[in-house]
Amino acid sequence: MRFVSDNVFHIEKSPQYAAVGDSVKTVEFVRAIGEKLLFVEAKSSFSNPNSLASNRGMGNKTVKEIFQKEIAGICDKFTHSLNLYSSVSVTKEGFPPGYVPAARLTLTFMLVTKGFEESWCDEIERALNRRIRESVCMSKMWKPEVVVINDATAAKRKIAVSYEIVTE
């Protein structure tokens, strides 16, 4: 997928991310839009939530177990990215030239899925919201909005403006 956005912090390519090691997972990029921080993760594959009733999976795992593991992984990316972003923001070192952080914050965690039907996105969004609510810090302090959209909806919303990020 290709994203084009202005005022982007490509967190995966930051020196801070390189310094913390492999145990930290991050989203593709963070974009500051006015008072909103948008944490964007892109996935070209994800379990189809409409098949959760199936008990077949890969190996000994059920489809539901695989789906829950993927949800947990995305939540880790959102949480780790917020923590890493916050540490960069506190030191004010390491943002790319021209990047302007948001002054006051509302958080949006966005997952963009390639080629998914919108109904699949709704179920993934509900699962991510449930998982985020389990974290007191996330649900009570940050109160993030969680949005799951497909690539067609992302194009309609014109998330892109002038900075290209290619994900695989």
What are the start-end ranges of the E strands in 57-141? 106-113
Buried b (16+ CB within 10 A) or exposed e, 139-158: eeebebebbbbbbebbeeee
Mean pLDDT of 1-15: 80
Residue 166's pLDDT is 52
Percent of the chain with pLDDT over 90: 19
> Is pLDDT of 164 > 60?
no
The mean pLDDT value of the chain amounts to: 79
Q: What is the pLDDT of residues 58-116, one digit of tens each?
A: 555 677 888 889 999 999 999 999 989 888 876 667 777 887 776 667 888 999 888 88
Residue 160's pLDDT is 43
Give this prediction's pTM.
Answer: 0.76
Residue 161's pLDDT is 37
pLDDT grade for 27, boundaries at 50, 70 and 90: very high
Residue 106's pLDDT is 83
Residue 53's pLDDT is 52
Residue 139's pLDDT is 60
Whether the CB-CB separation of 1 and 111 falls below 8 Å is answered with no
Residue whose tokens read 């974290």? 135
Q: Which residues contact 61 (CB under 8 A, 6 or more apart)?
A: 69
Task: Using DSSP bridges, classify how beta strands 106-113 and 145-150 pair: parallel, antiparallel or unpaired.
Answer: parallel
Residue 92's pLDDT is 63
Residue 168's pLDDT is 44
> Is pLDDT of 167 > 60?
no
Q: What is the pLDDT of residues 38-59, one digit of tens each?
A: 999 988 888 777 665 555 555 5
